[in-house]
Amino acid sequence: MERIEGVTFSWPTRVYYEDTDAGGVVYHAQYLKFLERARTEWLRAAGLEQDRLAAEHGIVFAVTQADLRFVAPARFNDALCITVRPVAHGRVRIVFEQAVYKADATDEPLVTAHVEVACVSRERFRAAALPEFIVETLKL
Amino acid sequence: MERIEGVTFSWPTRVYYEDTDAGGVVYHAQYLKFLERARTEWLRAAGLEQDRLAAEHGIVFAVTQADLRFVAPARFNDALCITVRPVAHGRVRIVFEQAVYKADATDEPLVTAHVEVACVSRERFRAAALPEFIVETLKL
Amino acid sequence: MERIEGVTFSWPTRVYYEDTDAGGVVYHAQYLKFLERARTEWLRAAGLEQDRLAAEHGIVFAVTQADLRFVAPARFNDALCITVRPVAHGRVRIVFEQAVYKADATDEPLVTAHVEVACVSRERFRAAALPEFIVETLKL
Amino acid sequence: MERIEGVTFSWPTRVYYEDTDAGGVVYHAQYLKFLERARTEWLRAAGLEQDRLAAEHGIVFAVTQADLRFVAPARFNDALCITVRPVAHGRVRIVFEQAVYKADATDEPLVTAHVEVACVSRERFRAAALPEFIVETLKL
C-alpha cells in the first residue's frame, strides 16, 4: 500500500422517503449507497466513467471492506454532503476515508467510513491490477 | 393472449426495518419486490430456477407493466402473505394477478397488482418467445 | 376529481450501481423511487417542504395507485430525466402523469406512469382533506 | 463492556433480483439488510418482538458501528445462511459477530461483520439503558 495525499471531494445528496425507515431516520444501509454515489462522482470528476471502464477495460470496482461509524442520524428531507478522500492504494486496491454531513453543518459528521475497493475483472470477478491511468488519476 | 386457469400460489414474507419508511409504514416501492419474490418462488415451485434459465436458455424475465392499488399499509414486523396467479400468456408475455395480505387476514388485501412480464434475451434484452417447457408449466 | 392544466416539471437523476440488478439494467422497483424524487422536488419547487407539512400540518402523502409501463431499460451510469405533471385532484387525492427519460433523449420515454397520492394524517394514516394552500399551489 | 458467551443463531435468506447489481453479484449494501434480518429473528427467537419493544417500552435499536469484510460474492438465486452471535454488551450497547454464508458451504464466509447496536429512545433517538429483561435474554 502506498499512501496518497488525496484531495477531499464532496458530493451533495438529498434524503428522500426511500432512504428512511420506521425509526424516522435514514436506514443505516443507505449510507453505503450515499458513500458509493460520492466515489462514483469522484471518478467521474476525474474523467473516469465506470460504464466505459467495464466495456473498454473489462474492469469493475468491488467493495472489499467498509468500516462505518454511525454518529448521529440524518432525517427525511435533509440535504447531505458526502465526502471522499483517497488515502492509499496498492496494486489492486484503493482506500478511501469518507464521511456524511448535513449540508449546513460540515464540521460534525453523521457517519464516518473507511472503505476499500478492489479492481476486479468484470467477467470472473477476480482481482485485477489497477490500470496505470487510474493510478495516475489518483495521484492528481 | 390466451387465458389461463391459474392456481393461486402463496409465499410468506416478513416486514423488516429495511422495508419501512419514516411514515411508519412499508415504503410503496417495496411491494414490487415482495411481488417479485412470490413470482420467483412460484417459478421455483414449478421446477424453474431463473439462474439456470439465464445460463442454459439465455433468457430472463422483465416486468413490462405493473398496475398497483395500495389499499392499506403494512407495518414493521408484520408477517405478510404474497399471492401470485397466472391469468394469461402470449408468445412472449405472462400476465399475473397478485396481492399482498397480512398473514392473519387473508381476506382483506393490503395491495392488489396486475403484473405483466416478458421473456427477453439475456444478452440484448430483446423480446424472446417463451420456451415451450415454460408454457407447459403455466398450464399445470 | 377536478382536472388541472398542470405544467410539466423535470428533475434529473443518475443511475448508480444501487439502482441496477443482475440483468444489467435498472431494477424495476427503483423507478417508483425516481418518480417520488421528482414529485418531492416538484413540491419543493412550489415552496412545500414535506417535513414541515408533517410537523406543522400533521399530514403526509401516501401513494394509493401506480400504473407503470416499462418501455425500455435504463442502464448503469445513465443520466435520467424524470417528469411530473399534476392532471387532477379531489378533496384528498392528487393525480400525476409521470415519465422517465434518458437525459439526452427526452422524446422516447423509458417508463410512463399514472400515479395517485392521497393526503393522510401522519398519526393515524387516515385520509385527510388537502389543505387549501396545497390546492392553490396545484393550480399555479 | 461485558463479554458474553453467546450462542450462534442462524437465519436463512434467498438472493432475489432486488439484491443484485449490474456487476452480476449481490450489491454490497444489501448485506447490512441481511445481517439485520438475522438480528431481528434472533431477538424474535428469544421472545422479543421489536414492534412491542417500541410501543410498550419506547425503545428501538440503532446500529452505531458496522465493520464489514466482503470476502467473496453471493449471486442471484443463492440460498444464504446469516449467522449472529452476541459477544459483548454494555449499559446501552450490544456487540455482535455476524457472517454470511452460502447455505451449502457454511465453512467459508462470503461476508464477515462486527456490528454494534445501541438501545435508543424511540421519541428522541437518544441512548437509553438496555432493559433488564433484554440483558437477561442475552445471557441465555
Rounded-to-integer distance, Cα D121 and Cα A24, Å? 12
Confidence at residue C140, expressed as pLDDT on a 0 to 100 scale: 56
Average pLDDT on D15-44 reads 97
Average pLDDT on B58-86 reads 97
Name the CATH topology of D2-137: Thiol Ester Dehydrase; Chain A (3.10.129)
**Across chain C, what does the average pLDDT equal?**
95
Rounded-to-integer distance, Cα A75 and Cα A14, Å? 10
Of A63, A64, A70, the CB nearest to D63: A70
Q: Do A68 and D70 touch (CB under 8 A)?
A: no
Structural domain boundaries in chain B: 2-137
pLDDT in tens, C15-68: 999 999 998 899 999 999 999 999 999 999 999 999 999 999 999 999 999 999
Give the mutation candidate from A15, A16, A20 for the B interface (greatest B CB count, under 10 A).
Answer: A20
Confidence at residue A5, expressed as pLDDT on a 0 to 100 scale: 86
pLDDT in tens, B111-132: 999 999 999 999 889 999 999 9
Grid coordinates representing A44 are 467521474
CA distance B46 to chain A (A): 30
Confidence at residue B6, expressed as pLDDT on a 0 to 100 scale: 84
Neighbours of B140 (CB within 10 A): 10
Q: Do D30 and A25 touch (CB under 8 A)?
A: no
Q: Where are the beta strands (DSSP E) in chain B?
A: 2-3, 9-14, 59-70, 79-89, 93-102, 111-121
pLDDT above 70: percentage of residues in chain A: 99
As a dihedral over the C-alpha atoms of residue A119, residue A125, residue A129, residue A131, rounded to 10 degrees, the angle is -60
Element containing residue C93 per DSSP (H, E): strand C93-102
Q: Do C50 and A77 touch (CB under 8 A)?
A: yes
Of B25, B30, B63, the CB nearest to C28: B63
**Across chain A, what does the average pLDDT equal?**
95
pLDDT above 70: percentage of residues in chain C: 99
C63–A contact, CB cutoff 8 A? no
Of A11, C99, B41, C29, the closest CA to residue D20 belongs to C29
CA distance A49 to chain C (A): 8
Question: What are the φ and ψ backbone dihedral angles of C97, each rounded to 5 degrees?
Answer: -100, 130
Average pLDDT on C97-105 reads 97
Rounded-to-integer distance, Cα B24 and Cα A21, Å? 7
The model carries a pTM of 0.97
Residues of B25-56 as b/e, b for ≥16 C-beta within 10 angstroms?
A: bbbbbbbbbbbbbbbbbbbeeeeeebeebbee
Residues of A in contact with D63 (CB under 8 A): 28, 70
Confidence at residue D106, expressed as pLDDT on a 0 to 100 scale: 86
C33–B contact, CB cutoff 8 A? yes
Nearest CA in chain C to D27: C18
Residues of B in contact with C29 (CB under 8 A): 29-30, 32-33, 36
Q: Do A70 and D60 touch (CB under 8 A)?
A: no
Of C69, C136, C137, C77, the closest CA to residue C108 belongs to C69
Average pLDDT on D67-81 reads 97
Of A6, A14, A25, A4, the closest CA to residue A80 belongs to A14
Q: Do D33 and B18 touch (CB under 8 A)?
A: yes
CA distance D33 to chain B (A): 6
pLDDT in tens, D115-128: 999 999 998 899 99
Average pLDDT on A28-36 reads 98
Note the ipTM here.
0.96
pLDDT in tens, A80-136: 999 999 999 999 999 999 999 999 998 899 999 999 999 999 988 999 999 999 998
Nearest CA in chain D to C75: D22
Residues of D in contact with B37 (CB under 8 A): 14, 16, 18
Q: Do A125 and D70 touch (CB under 8 A)?
A: no
Give me the active site residues of A, please: 21
**Across chain D, what does the average pLDDT equal?**
95
Residues of B in contact with C37 (CB under 8 A): none
